Amino acid sequence: MVLEPVHCPSCDSINVVRHGKTAQQKQRYQCQNPLCCRRTFIQEYTYQGYLPKVKQQITDMAINGSGMRDTARVLKISRNTVTQELTKKFPTTVCE
């Protein structure tokens, strides 16, 4: 039997502990690296919108001029996911 270590997707650390289960009974992990920007993660996401690769594609498509509906249709994710991700990346500032 071979045990394969779990790596944090953000910092690639193997200093990871189990951190309960999700509602879908998938194992959740917690990164113990204090400098890591991501604390908990799952190894296999069901919804593709959670994947870092897809989040990067959302940003790239927005920079290249694709609309939110077009991005959602091409990546097969919800329009709300596209909106939330773009709001996180490009917050609006209000000047008074």
pLDDT in tens, 27-68: 999 999 888 888 888 888 888 888 888 999 999 999 999 999
Q: Which of 13, 12, 39, 44 shows the shortest CA–CA distance to 27?
A: 44
Same domain assignment for residues 84 and 67: yes
Same domain assignment for residues 20 and 53: no
Identity of the residue numbered 19? H
Count CB atoms within 10 A of the CB of residue 88: 10
Residue 80: domain span: 48-89
pLDDT at 94 over 80: no
Q: Which of 32, 27, 1, 28 shows the shortest CA–CA distance to 14?
A: 32
pTM of the complete model beyond 0.85: no
Report pLDDT for 91.
Answer: 75
**Could you identify the residue written with the tokens 């008074």?**
96
- Rounded Cα distance, 77 and 66, in Å: 15
Structural domains in the chain (count): 2
> Average pLDDT of 15-23?
91
